[in-house]
Structure 1
């Protein structure tokens, strides 16, 4: 199992050059916000991601890849 702090660090580094905040909610779920630090524009806002399936670097990388694909496709369902 990957510690939550490491998991969040990997997620946050996966969206560079944009900024990313990955935090753990009181319920233990992840909240992920990807934004442009210069403008403050939010590109992606996801709340309630379960860390249960993110047990390996590969699984975390796959999640980041899926979220980047959604961002590049301009899917408003995921954007804040």
Structure 2
């Protein structure tokens, strides 16, 4: 899978949030999730290895893990708790 295809899959997995997935020349991956309304960074995950994310199962696993981390952060935030 090309880096462009990989980025497209990861970024679309987090819609409607804004996700930026970047692949460095050394094939390390950084995924940044932003609030679409405020552009505030909600979560930044760095240091992933693209070689370990080469299958759809591995990508699904990291997406699920990041979604769980986002949910935990939202539950811990007093602002998010008031909005729920």
Q: Distance in 1 between matches of 2:4 and 2:56?
A: 13
The structure having more radius of gyration, on CA atoms, is 2
Q: Distance in 1 between matches of 2:13 and 2:6?
A: 11
Question: Equivalences for 1:1-80 in 2 at 5 Å?
Answer: 2-74=1-73
Q: Distance in 1 between matches of 2:24 and 2:36?
A: 22
Q: Distance in 2 between matches of 1:46 and 1:69?
A: 13
Match of 2:82 in 1: none
Q: Distance in 1 between matches of 2:25 and 2:55?
A: 23
> Would you identify which runs of 4 or more consecutive aligned residues in structure 1 move more than 6 Å?
none
The offset of 1:70, in angstroms, is 0.9
RMSD between superposed Cα atoms in Å:
1.8
Q: Normalising by structure 1, report the TM-score.
A: 0.82
Q: Distance in 2 between matches of 1:74 and 1:36?
A: 13
The offset of 1:26, in angstroms, is 3.5
* Higher RCO, 1 vs 2 (CA within 8 Å, ≥6 residues apart): 1
Which ranges of structure 1 fall in alignment gaps of 5 or more residues? Answer: none
